[in-house]
């Protein structure tokens, strides 16, 4: 159909309705994809806390999957080889958080400066870690040779 005044061809009304259907259908599909992606993203988010933040919000965070980060207390490391149970403390600003982890112990644990543990805080206030990540010192230095 051509407009008599302008001479420009106008789409037929049926074609406009068909285009509108495609646009609405496309928007519905994009909205569904966005809603699905957003819900999956939120369910996989694990919050990251320091020891003082964890201690301050202990009651609220009990039972939730979270990550806690802090300096490793080397003197508290207790490994039971038979049960593969590792117990240690994370200390930060004078606050101590006991952590229990069952699994393969990272080789860098004894050299580590800080630890990121992911797991849940139990009712007794002990962090039950499902995984741990040991952060190594920012630089390694070789031993100085002994002089005779």
CA-CA-CA-CA torsion sign (16, 20, 23, 26)? negative
Tens digit of pLDDT per residue, the chain (148 long)? 556 566 676 667 777 777 889 999 999 999 999 999 988 887 777 788 999 999 999 999 999 999 999 999 989 999 998 999 999 999 998 899 999 999 998 888 877 788 999 999 999 999 999 999 988 766 666 666 666 5
CA dist list (Å): 107 to 69, 110, 148: 18, 7, 33
Contacts of 133 (CB under 8 A, 6+ apart): 106, 115, 116, 117, 118
From the list 51, 126, 47, 48, the residue with the least C-alpha distance to 92 is: 51
What is residue 142's predicted lDDT score, i.e. its pLDDT? 66
DSSP labels, 15-79: HHHHHHHHHHHHHHHHHHHHHHHHHHHHHT--EEEEHHHHHHTHHHHBTSEEEEEEEEEEEEEEE
CA-CA distance, 35 to 90, in Å (whole number)?
Answer: 38
**pLDDT value at position 18?**
79
Task: Give residue 67's pLDDT.
Answer: 93
Which token pair is 79? Answer: 């490994």
Q: Which two tokens stand for residue 82?
A: 């038979």
Q: What is the pLDDT of residue 50?
A: 93
**Whole-number pLDDT of residue 35:** 94
The pLDDT assigned to 2 comes to 56
């Amino acid at each position: 159909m051509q407009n008599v005044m302008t001479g420009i061809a106008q789409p037929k009304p049926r074609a406009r309705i068909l285009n509108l259907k495609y646009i609405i259908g496309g928007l519905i599909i994009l909205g569904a994809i966005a809603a699905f992606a957003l819900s999956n993203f939120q369910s996989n988010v694990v919050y990251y806390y320091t020891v003082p933040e964890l201690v301050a919000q202990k009651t609220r965070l009990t039972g939730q999957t979270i990550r806690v980060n802090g300096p490793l207390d080397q003197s508290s490391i207790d490994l039971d080889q038979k049960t593969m149970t590792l117990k240690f403390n994370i200390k930060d600003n004078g606050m101590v958080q006991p952590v229990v982890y069952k699994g393969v112990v990272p080789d860098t644990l004894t050299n580590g400066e800080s630890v990121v543990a992911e797991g849940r805080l139990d009712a007794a206030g002990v962090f039950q870690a499902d995984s741990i990540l040991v952060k190594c010192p920012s630089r390694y230095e070789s031993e100085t040779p002994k002089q005779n």
